[in-house]
Amino acid sequence: MSAPTHDETGLAAAAAALPSGPDLRTLLNSLFDTPVVVREETAPVLPGRLVKVVGSYLDDQGALRAVIMLDVVLGCALGAALALLPAPRVEEAVASDVVPPELGENTREVLNIAASLFNSAEAHLKLRAVEIAPEPVADDVVRFLRSQPYRSDFTIEVPGYGTGTSALLLR
């Protein structure tokens, strides 16, 4: 992950600081017993109606700077892989289109650790909250998403648990 550059207003230009596919793969592989496959997508792959998990991240001044969104497959697969739960549990949850509480708690921990993806010499971000559908997304997160932040989309395969999609957004 390269350091952010500064634009004409003096604000950090976040595009250079977005986590890359290798950054994400390294983080996930450090958490799981099985190597994940991460593909960076050239276009958004996670439309709003498919988002089931939203993690929001604050900087040291308390400003919302980053969001991670997951679909139901990835929301369940990350939680199950972290706890080494049997794959059929993910299949049941995905069939019901819900990230159940026991998987959601583990996914929260993955997103907490993922805060390190956004940290640089210029910024230190920490997880503020994780909202799991049908829990409503906070108003400031909705405004953040509408503000056209820098974005990277990924397809992530967690072997044995499934392939889902994620979007990482940074301002």
Q: pTM score > 0.85 for this model? A: yes
Residue 134: cis peptide before it, omega within 30 degrees of 0: yes
Beta-carbon contacts of 47 under 8 Å, excluding residues fewer than 6 positions away, are none
Residue-range domains of the chain with CATH: 47-170 (3.40.1550)
What is the tens place of the pLDDT at every residue in 29-85?
999 988 999 999 998 888 788 999 999 999 999 999 999 999 999 999 999 999 999
Query: Tokens 């600081």 — which residue?
Result: 17
pLDDT in tens, 128-151: 999 999 999 999 999 999 998 899
